[in-house]
Amino acid sequence: MSTATATTLTPFPLARHLATRGGRRTARRPCVRASAFHPEVSRAVESLQAEFREVDRALALNSSRVAAAFRHARVAPHHFGGSTGYGHDDAGGREALDSVFAHVVGAEAAIVRPQFFSGTHAIACALFALLRPGHELLAVAGPPYDTLEEVIGIRGSANVGSLKDFGVTYREVPPAEDGGLDWDALACAIRPETGCALIQRSCGYSWRKSLSVADIRRAIDLIKMQNPNCKVMVDNCYGEFVETSEPPMVGADLIAGSLIKNPGGTIAPCGGYVAGKKDLVEAAAARLSAPGLGVEFGSAPGHVMRALFQGLFLAPQMVGEAVKVGCLSVLASEEILHAVSTDSLVPSTGRFANCRGHVSQGI
Ligand SMILES: Cc1ncc(COP(=O)(O)O)c(C=O)c1O
């Protein structure tokens, strides 16, 4: 490493430390403006200022929506206490958290619980709430996330109670050549038996495009035009707070996701959520617990409730930072390696839009 490079990489605190010996300032040295970053990264940061401003704008709007939801539900310290057993002694914490979450995503109701193991578990509860024997599940954005294959029954889960075991069939609309939704195919894809259309917002690990909320709105309109009774369920994993609106605000019947991703704000130790129309959320709650138990049960011992509230409060900030780091990773990698494909970027929302869809996945 050349001396010049070593100087550039010296972080500010170290430079200050070198200029001060034994608590006494030494004779003034020539001031070299140091940066903590590799020069290519610093250049990338400079060139991303417009994108970063846009992320900050979304972050501010999302944070104020979350704060308003906390005020609306009158969240207070007694909601943070732990509960045990059936969870009947929780002083309203569960109800307040559900109400905050529903408010934030623009849904009638939500169930936010540490008892959801993961995103897959929450999505499975939502799908089982929506589908009945004889129904068809239609994935409108190509193959769903891998772990859902067993839930649907298209991979290795015979006789453990997959959707297929319960007589639900499955079909996919493959993505268009540009990686987006195939609008022409979707315009005539819904059949009378299609009980639920599944829209996966983030691309996951596949190379298709992540979907904007505007795309999701257009898809929901197309689906409901063909069959108003077909329910639309959005796998919202890694999508929360990436934009300033959420799928229930544009007509999704249910959404589901994980608290160990975006809405947990890096603080939630576990959990997931389902949100949307009230009767459907109740049906999903019955899958999580049991018919008749619904949303009224479920203890959260120790400090779990506090962590769930705190994580949700911080989530817009954490997601904003992750989106910035995603943009920066793409650009800096291009600068350094000249080898990163930008094919997966979504032109409609800017050159780094796909970072918004799956950024947290890589971080
Ligand atoms: C788009 C998408 N859906 C579903 C899942 C499944 O979530 P989990 O791993 O929490 O079960 C993931 C996980 O990364 C995902 O990215």
Return per-residue pLDDT of the chain as tens, 363 residues. Answer: 333 333 333 333 333 333 333 444 444 554 445 677 788 888 889 999 999 999 999 999 999 999 999 999 999 999 999 999 999 878 899 999 999 999 999 999 999 999 999 999 999 999 999 999 999 999 999 999 999 999 999 998 778 999 999 999 999 999 999 999 999 999 999 999 999 999 999 999 898 999 999 999 999 999 999 999 999 999 999 999 999 999 999 999 999 999 999 999 999 999 999 999 999 999 999 999 999 988 888 999 999 999 999 999 999 999 999 999 999 988 888 777 654 444 444 333 444 545 544 444 443
pTM of the model: 0.85
- From 147, 242, 361, the mutation candidate for ligand 1 (largest count of ligand atoms within 8 A of CB) is 147
Cβ neighbourhood burial of 162 (10 Å; 0-12, 13-18, 19+): buried
Residue 254 lies in a domain: yes
Distance from chain centroid for Cα 39: 32
Residue 258 Cβ contacting ligand 1 at under 6 Å: yes
CA of 259 to the centre of ligand 1 (A): 11
- From 203, 208, 261, the mutation candidate for ligand 1 (largest count of ligand atoms within 8 A of CB) is 261
Residue 174 lies in a domain: yes
Residue 30 lies in a domain: no
Q: Which domain holds residue 154?
A: 60-311
Residue 260 lies in a domain: yes
- From 150, 255, 258, the mutation candidate for ligand 1 (largest count of ligand atoms within 8 A of CB) is 258
Which tokens hold the place of 103? 């408010």
CATH at residue 172: 3.40.640.10
Residue 147 Cβ contacting ligand 1 at under 6 Å: yes
Q: Residues with Cβ < 8 Å from 67, sequence gap 6 or more?
A: 313
Residue 249 lies in a domain: yes
User: Which DSSP string do the residues of 222-240 spell out, in sequence order?
Assistant: HHHHH-TTSEEEEE-TTTT
Phi-psi region of 179 (alpha: psi -120 to 50; beta: other; left: phi over 0): left
CA of 306 to the centre of ligand 1 (A): 24
Looking at the 3D structure of the chain, how many domains does it have? 1
pLDDT for 91: 87
**Nearest of 240, 207, 158, 200 to residue 344 by alpha carbon:** 207
Residue 329 lies in a domain: no
Q: Whose CA is nearest to atom 12 of ligand 1?
A: 237
pLDDT for 352: 53
Residue 106 lies in a domain: yes
pLDDT for 34: 64
Residue 5 lies in a domain: no
Residue 204 Cβ contacting ligand 1 at under 6 Å: yes
Residue 262 Cβ contacting ligand 1 at under 6 Å: no
pLDDT for 23: 40
pLDDT for 330: 86
